[in-house]
Copies of this chain bind each other. A is one copy, B any other.
Amino acid sequence: MMRILGVDPGSVCTGVGIIEQQAAGTRCLAYSTIRTGNADFNQRLGIIFEEIHNLMLEYRPQRVAVEKVFVNNNAESSLKLGHARGAAICALLQSDVTIAEYSPNAVKKALVGRGHADKAQVAHMVRVLLGLPKLPPADAADALAVALCDQHHYQTSLRLQQASA
């Protein structure tokens, strides 16, 4: 049983999702959106840190995966996103788990088969792959997608190891 936490960080909404690979298939254990609301900016970072830290303690995933960010042209939003992502990563580092990072295109490719699929397609595939009764909210869907992407990469590397052994 392999448990993977996926994180899609943002300063306003941070998506998180936990999947578990079981004998019968891959199941979603939990997903949510950490909303930092109107809190003072530093307090928002504290909320992201605490919530992710608590998730790590509660679910003890063997793997964690975070969405890589694009450097966009807006330096101010990059600075804010950097703070949020730094807070999330610090929370993950509190457990001794390697952090995998995947670009949005790698995530899309793993789930939909092409790097430029739109978000709705990704969310749809997340729902199908995990057999969810309804579409998760956008940020949580992205987080689950990152976790599924990590699972895909992990299984591929396992197969490569077995083939070369």
Contacts and interface: CB of A to CB of B under 8 A. Distances in A.
Interface string A87-103: 10111010000010000
Given A42-B99, A99-B42, A79 B69 contact: yes
Interface residues of A, number: 27
Contacts of A81: 79, 82
A36 to B, nearest CB: 12
Contact of A87 (B43, B74, B75, B89): B89
A31 interface: no
Given A42-B89, A85-B86, 9 more contacts: A42-B99, A45-B90, A46-B90, A46-B93, A49-B93, A69-B79, A71-B75, A82-B86, A83-B89
